[in-house]
Amino acid sequence: MVGVPVDMSRERFEELVGEALDEVPVELLSLMNNVVFLVEDAPPDGDDGLLGLYEGTALTDRGWDYAGVLPDRITIYRLPTLRVCDSDEDVVEEVAITVVHEIAHHFGIDDQRLHELGWA
């Protein structure tokens, strides 16, 4: 793992994603619909700056005809996250920020608004 300041197993990283989800208010989680969370080591396109990715149809874009589709995907990328962090504590914080950021996309909040809110 050259270039990764924090050495963290995939299992521990997955635990951190789960802990970040546990911190999201249950009222918000209950509004999420047809979405799955995944952890991957790296983005498929090799973009080392990408810490997370939301793929799907935001709740705000779903109409009456939204049915029978595969779940939206929120993927958190382990190695890029470890590269931007200097300590385990940094990883915990970055994972929490990334999880919230990607959940916001599920609710139709774009990157510009997330930057304005300090979640970028």
42-70 pLDDT per residue, tens: 998 878 889 999 999 998 998 888 888 89
Of 27 and 38, the structure prediction assigns the larger pLDDT to 38
Per-residue pLDDT for 74 more than 50?
Answer: yes
Instruction: Give the up-direction half-sphere exposure of residue 64: CA atoms within 13 A in the CB hemisphere.
Output: 0
- Note the pTM of the prediction, 2 decimals: 0.89
Residues 44 and 74 sit within 8 Å (Cβ to Cβ): no
Per-residue pLDDT for 113 more than 90?
Answer: no
Per-residue pLDDT for 107 more than 50?
Answer: yes
Residue 82: exposure state from Cβ atoms within 10 A (0-12, 13-18, ≥19): buried
What architecture is the 10-58+68-117 domain classified under in CATH?
A: 2-Layer Sandwich (3.30)
Per-residue pLDDT for 115 more than 90?
Answer: no
Question: Residue 2 and residue 18: Cα distance in Å, rounded?
Answer: 26
